[in-house]
A = this chain, B = another copy of it.
Amino acid sequence: MSKSNVAIIGGGNIADKNHIPALKQVAEQVDIVAVCGRDRAKARALADKHAIPHAFDNTGELYRVCAPDMVVICTPNNLHYPQTIEALEHGCHVFCEKPSALHARDARHMADLAAQKGLTLAYNFQLRQTGECELLMRCKAEGLLGDIYHIKAQFLRRRGIPGWGSFTNKAVQGGGALMDLGVHVLDLALYVLGFPTPDQVLGNTYDLIGKTGGKGLMGSWNPATFDVEDAAMAYLSFPNKASVMLSASFALNTQLDKDRNLAVFGSKGGVSLFPFTLHTELAGELADVRFPYLEDVDSQLKNTIAFLDACQHKPSNVCTAEQGALLQEIVERIYQSAER
């Protein structure tokens, strides 16, 4: 197969530290032809750093000059929708950062357009590619878990309201802890369950700490302009009676600085994901299984490869446009429930 031209839209940290390094490791498949950022000089500097030929400050020029085969979108959340639509309209495959969009109807539109155009649209939920998640899927496939009926998914920070970026700005981000953190473990939970649509969604959001202020562990934030949730709690129930408890926080009076985990309960076995432990019966006795030599993997690289595989219609476990739309629909139902 011939190599594809890929353009990077968004010239921040995620481009610099995640996507570009991963793409450079698959240089036999792709050429990075351009970086497009808000600030042309910064885009130029990033391009130079990575030996990328072009740098732009508007996507119109990008498409005109480079006509890329693919784009990677790593801009703030509120741009995911218009930039994806534009890219699809230009016939590009799109690898978009999470979450898919600010609104469920936009995410649905993105998925429909990609399908209509026959293009690949995928989202960068890279926790799927961790060694732990892979082992979980292998345990499930080998029947070690039996029927999975309950999942506790959480991504909790004690005082991790970011003191930089637009994380506390609802107009840009669309939300707070749920939109930024919760969606990661929600994706994992649905991935394990096979992406069913919940028939019941109930949730609440909170902002007392965010609006009051206090000691910050990820820089200092401004309580006066804080207008997103600092914590979100939700319960999902599915037609097959499986259920998910979802907890996400930027700030919560809990012990750990960062507590990201999935506890998966099945009829034959249960798994706690980080660190990975399996609780089951073996030889007629209750058994706890640890896997002491699980390897660290480069989950971003693996997800980038999964996206490229999807573009070529190879088997891939990347988060699809449909899945991204369902995730956003659930997030929106949680917010609606919280505002009831």
Q: Which residues of B contact A128 (CB under 8 A)?
A: none
Known: A202-B200, A285-B215, A288-B289. Contact between A254 and B279, CB under 8 A? yes
A254 to B281, CA, bound (A): 11
Q: Chain B: which residue is nearest A294 at the CB level?
A: B285
- Min CB gap A117→B, angstroms: 38
Q: How large is the interface on A (under 10, 10 to 19, 20 to 34, 35 or more residues)?
A: 35 or more
Give a binary string over A278-301; 1 marks a CB under 8 Å from any B CB, 0 the rest. 111111111111111110000000
> What are the residues of chain B within 8 A of A51 when measuring CB–CB?
none
Closest Cβ of chain B to A286, distance in Å, is 5
Say yes or no: A293-B285 contact (C-beta < 8 A), given A209-B267, A255-B277: yes
Find chain B residues with CB under 8 A from A243 CB: 204, 233
Q: Quick check: which of A143-151, A168-176, A322-330 contacts chain B, the rest being far away?
A: A143-151
Q: A233-B150, A283-B142 are known contacts. Are A241 and B204 too (CB-CB below 8 A)?
A: yes
In the complex, how many angstroms separate the beta carbon of A84 from the nearest chain B beta carbon? 33
Q: Does chain B have a CB within 8 A of A79?
A: no
| B287 & A291 in contact (Cβ 8 Å cutoff) | yes
A38 in the interface (beta carbon within 8 A): no
* A249 nearest in chain B by CB position: B265
Contacts of A287 in B (CB 8 A): 289-291
